[in-house]
Amino acid sequence: MDLFEIIFYFFAAIVLVSALVVVLSKNIMYSAFSLLFTFFGVAGLFVLLNADFVGITQIMVYVGGILVLIIFGVMITTKVTGVDIKEGISGKLQYAGAGIITLLTAIFLSLMFINGKWITGSSTDVHATIHQIGTLLMTKYILAFEAAAILLLIAFIGAALIGRRKA
């Protein structure tokens, strides 16, 4: 087992375990913080896949932006830290149903992925992705890029407008 494999399993374990904690934890703060680990793990996996720029972006946007936003939301709505899985039979039933669906989804997706006849081919150049990304964003994906920019602007204005305390 070489180092590469060890690193992969390490990151995969971080991702899955922390994700498990996210969805199962009764304390919302725990969930939020373990989500941090999940994002880190995913970023690590990205780096392992030669996607350094995407990995950095992942950390910056998710950890630095989204997660902070989430934690802020959690803290503003402080009251909501308790148990939110319903008690009683119906709650348990719902839990079990969700679990079954989740399990089936996981198994089925895994099987699909494993048995899938994917088009495989080796990547040409794994270095200096940032340069290539920049070139593509400014050339081939310029329209999507601009649209994404406008979307972000709209989302920013919209979020500000919605979140504004009403007079």
**8 lies in the binding site for other proteins (CB under 8 A):** yes
**10 lies in the binding site for other proteins (CB under 8 A):** no
- For the record, the structure tokens of 55 come out as 């990995």
The SS3 call for residue 140 is coil
Neighbouring residues of 82: CB distance < 8 A, sequence distance ≥ 6:
26
Instruction: Pick from 10, 66, 92, 138 the residue near other proteins by CB under 8 A.
Output: 66
Instruction: Pick from 87, 118, 127, 143 the residue near other proteins by CB under 8 A.
Output: 118
CB 151, min distance to other proteins, A: 6
**138 lies in the binding site for other proteins (CB under 8 A):** no
Among left, alpha and beta (phi > 0; psi -120 to 50; other), residue 150 is alpha
Report the amino acid identity of residue 68. V
**90 lies in the binding site for other proteins (CB under 8 A):** no
Report the amino acid identity of residue 58. Q
CB 95, min distance to other proteins, A: 6
Give the residue with the Cβ less far from other proteins, 89 or 160.
160
**40 lies in the binding site for other proteins (CB under 8 A):** no
Burial of 56 (0-12, 13-18, 19+ CB in 10 A): middle
Which uninterrupted H or E stretch holds 12? helix 3-24
CB 88, min distance to other proteins, A: 14
**72 lies in the binding site for other proteins (CB under 8 A):** yes
CB 89, min distance to other proteins, A: 14
- How far apart are alpha carbons 134 and 146 in whole angstroms? 13
**14 lies in the binding site for other proteins (CB under 8 A):** no
